[in-house]
């Protein structure tokens, strides 16, 4: 379901899901506002970058510190992985604090993180891809997922639900927040992608629209479907439906700006 996410303008500007707020789980979807980075990374940037222009590691760490501060913690309490559009979801614990910050990340791509640990901040990063945050409010298990089209096709959100259940979570008690990502308004895709999704599951057809010979893909809807098929109740899925590509003031966007751009973060933590 679409919900108006709550915009917070503190030192940094971020959004929270009213549904997750009601269940008392600390979480946020950052915007690009309130950080220390400059130029194309202005200003709340969470990755050094893969384009010709890069941000400094110091700036990126400081921006993580600003986000952790909202939860009353520091960058040392964050676990952050190297993401490569995989469908890998890892269970992490306190020994993973500071992973991807001062400690090396996993040596392979990990695009979803799950934990039962308190005061361990899970962070994933996006700039158009879908950030999904999950929380079982009864069994106290949470997850953060990076789901671009590859992750969506590979149903990484379903993998995360499965991993959560392996830690004692129950699908009926999971609430989900789908954060700002590229909307169907801007996400033009090739016909081969449409076909690949239709082949994976006929249900995905509803996520594609055709206009003037062009095909547009609704990534948010696809992830809602994946979560529902995993057993998460429709009323427990909250979607921001804020388009990162449309809103340059607030969001970084790969589609809009290419590789020389910053990256946002979605963070979640059990208290």
**Interface positions with Zn ion (CB under 5 A):** 183, 185-186, 243, 245-246
Residue 65 or residue 246: which is nearer to Zn ion going by CB?
A: 246
Buried b (16+ CB within 10 A) or exposed e, 183-207: bbeebebeeeebeebeeeeeebeeb
Residue 121 or residue 219: which is nearer to Zn ion going by CB?
A: 219
> In whole angstroms, how close is the CB of 246 to Zn ion at the nearest point?
3
Residue 63 or residue 253: which is nearer to Zn ion going by CB?
A: 253
Nearest to 87 by CA among 174, 16, 151: 151
Residue 114 or residue 219: which is nearer to Zn ion going by CB?
A: 219
> In whole angstroms, how close is the CB of 11 to Zn ion at the nearest point?
28
> In whole angstroms, how close is the CB of 254 to Zn ion at the nearest point?
13
How many angstroms separate the CA atoms of 97 and 226, rounded?
29
How many angstroms separate the CA atoms of 225 and 220, rounded?
9
User: Which residues make beta-bridge pairs with 136?
Assistant: 141, 174
> In whole angstroms, how close is the CB of 249 to Zn ion at the nearest point?
13
> In whole angstroms, how close is the CB of 9 to Zn ion at the nearest point?
22
How many angstroms separate the CA atoms of 133 and 243, rounded?
17
Pairing mode of beta strands 237-239, 174-178: parallel
Residue 69 or residue 247: which is nearer to Zn ion going by CB?
A: 247
> In whole angstroms, how close is the CB of 245 to Zn ion at the nearest point?
5
**DSSP one-letter code for 235:** G
Nearest to 96 by CA among 83, 72, 114: 114
Residue 65 or residue 186: which is nearer to Zn ion going by CB?
A: 186
């Amino acid at each position: 379901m679409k919900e108006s996410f709550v915009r917070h303008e503190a030192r940094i500007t971020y959004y929270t899901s009213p549904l997750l707020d009601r269940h008392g789980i600390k979480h946020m979807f950052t915007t690009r506002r309130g950080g220390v980075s400059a130029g194309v990374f202005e200003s709340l940037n969470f990755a050094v970058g893969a384009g010709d222009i890069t941000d400094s590691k110091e700036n990126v760490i400081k921006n993580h510190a600003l986000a952790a501060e909202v939860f009353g913690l520091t960058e040392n309490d964050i676990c952050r992985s190297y993401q490569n559009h995989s469908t890998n979801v890892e269970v992490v614990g306190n020994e993973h604090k500071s992973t991807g910050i001062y400690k090396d990340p996993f040596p392979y791509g990990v695009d979803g993180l799950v934990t039962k640990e308190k005061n361990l901040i899970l962070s994933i990063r996006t700039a158009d891809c879908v950030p999904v945050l999950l929380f079982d409010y009864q069994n106290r298990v949470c997850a953060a997922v990076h789901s671009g089209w590859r992750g969506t096709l590979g149903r990484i959100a379903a993998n995360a639900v499965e991993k959560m259940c392996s830690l004692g979570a129950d699908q009926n008690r999971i609430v989900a927040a789908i954060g700002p990502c590229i909307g169907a308004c801007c996400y033009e895709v090739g016909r081969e992608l449409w076909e690949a999704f239709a082949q994976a599951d006929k249900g995905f057809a509803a996520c594609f629209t055709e206009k003037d010979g062009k095909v547009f893909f609704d990534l948010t809807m696809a992830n809602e479907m994946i979560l529902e098929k995993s057993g998460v109740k429709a009323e427990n899925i909250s979607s921001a439906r804020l388009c990162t590509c449309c809103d340059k003031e607030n969001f970084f966007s790969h589609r809009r700006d290419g590789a020389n751009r910053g990256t946002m973060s979605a963070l979640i933590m059990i208290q």
